[in-house]
Amino acid sequence: MTMDYFVSILVRELTEDKFKDLVKLLEKFSTLIVQVEKDTIVGQTNDLNAVYYMFKLKEIYPEARFGFSQYLGLAKGLSKIANFGEILISEEMEPKMIELFQLTSLGMLSIEGMKSQILVCRVDVPAGEKKFPQPRALVSPIKYARSIEGLKNLLSVSKTVLVYGAAGIGKTVFIDQLIEELPDRQVFRTCCPSYPAQQPLRAILEICSQVLGLTGIKSIDERHQHISRRLKSLGIKDIGTTYLAILDFLGLEDEESILEKLDVKTRQEIIIKSVVEVLRLASWEKPAVVIIEDIDTMDVSSAGFIQSMLPQLLDEGVVFIFTSCRVQVGIAGLREYEFSEIDHKELENYVEKSIGERINLPPTGPLHVSQYISLYQEEKQAYSFNQYRGEMSLVNFSLPFADFKSIVKRRVELLNERKDALYALAMFGIEIDPQEFPGEYKELQRFEYFVDKNYLKKYGTKYIFVSSLLHEALYEMIPDRESRHARNADYYRRLEGYEGQTAFHYLRSANYKKAVEYLLKAAKAVLKKGACSSGIAYYEQALDLCRRQKEVADLEILVAINEGLADIYRALGDEEKALKYYKVVLDSYKEILRE
* pLDDT tens per residue, range 514-563: 999 999 999 998 887 778 899 999 999 999 999 999 888 888 898 899 99
Nearest CA among 373, 341, 371, 354 for reference residue 470: 371
Confidence of residue 441 (pLDDT cuts 50, 70, 90): low
Q: Domain map of the chain by residue range?
A: 5-126, 145-338, 344-475, 512-594
* pLDDT of residue 493 exceeding 60: yes
Long-range contacts of 580-589 (CB under 8 A, 24+ apart): 584/558, 585/559, 588/555, 588/558, 588/559, 588/562, 589/559
Fold match between domain 5-126 and domain 145-338: no
Average pLDDT over residues 480-498: 92
d(CA 74, CA 6): 9
Query: What are 464's strand-pairing partners?
Result: 431, 457
Residue 13: phi and psi, rounded to 5, are 60, 40
Strand runs (DSSP E) across 180-259, as ranges? 186-191
Region of poorest pLDDT, from 210-214, 332-336, 356-360, 584-588: 584-588
d(CA 513, CA 557): 10
Predicted local distance difference test score (pLDDT) of residue 29: 80
Region of poorest pLDDT, from 80-94, 381-395, 471-485, 493-507: 381-395
Confidence of residue 1 (pLDDT cuts 50, 70, 90): very low
Q: Is 330 left (phi over 0), alpha (psi -120 to 50) or beta?
A: left
Predicted local distance difference test score (pLDDT) of residue 282: 93
Length of the chain in residues, anyone? Answer: 595
d(CA 61, CA 53): 12
* Residue 369 burial by Cβ neighbours in a 10 Å radius (0-12, 13-18, 19+): buried
d(CA 305, CA 301): 6
Confidence of residue 188 (pLDDT cuts 50, 70, 90): very high
- Which H or E run includes 265? helix 264-285
Strand runs (DSSP E) across 99-248, as ranges? 101-109, 118-126, 160-164, 186-191
* pLDDT of residue 65 exceeding 80: yes
Confidence of residue 594 (pLDDT cuts 50, 70, 90): low
Predicted local distance difference test score (pLDDT) of residue 518: 96
Residue 35: phi and psi, rounded to 5, are -160, 140
d(CA 226, CA 582): 44
* pLDDT of residue 254 exceeding 70: no
d(CA 76, CA 69): 9
- Angle 574-576-582 from CA coordinates, rounded to 5°: 100
d(CA 408, CA 402): 10
Helices 419-428 and 468-477 pack at an angle, to 10 degrees, of 120
Domain 512-594 has CATH 3.40.50.720: no
Cβ count near 588 (within 10 Å): 17
* Beta carbons within 8 Å of 78's beta carbon, 6+ residues apart: 8, 66, 67, 68, 69, 88, 89, 90, 111, 120
Predicted local distance difference test score (pLDDT) of residue 32: 86
Question: Which amino acid is located at 189 in the chain?
Answer: R
- Angle 343-348-349 from CA coordinates, rounded to 5°: 95
* pLDDT of residue 2 exceeding 60: no
* CATH topology assigned to domain 5-126: Alpha-Beta Plaits (3.30.70)
pTM to 2 decimal places? 0.88
Top-level CATH class of 145-338? alpha beta
Question: Which amino acid is located at 455 in the chain?
Answer: Y
Q: Is 107 left (phi over 0), alpha (psi -120 to 50) or beta?
A: left
Rg, the chain, Cα only = 31
DSSP helix, strand, coil percent of the chain (3-state; round to 5): 55, 15, 35
Q: Which residue has the higher pLDDT, 255 or 405?
A: 405
Calculate what percentage of the chain has a pLDDT beyond 70: 95
Is residue 375 within 8 A of residue 399, CB to CB? The reply is yes
- Rounded to the nearest angstrom, the gap between the alpha carbon of residue 102 and the centroid of all alpha carbons in its chain is 47
Residue 343: phi and psi, rounded to 5, are -60, 135
Average pLDDT over residues 358-374: 93
Confidence of residue 591 (pLDDT cuts 50, 70, 90): low
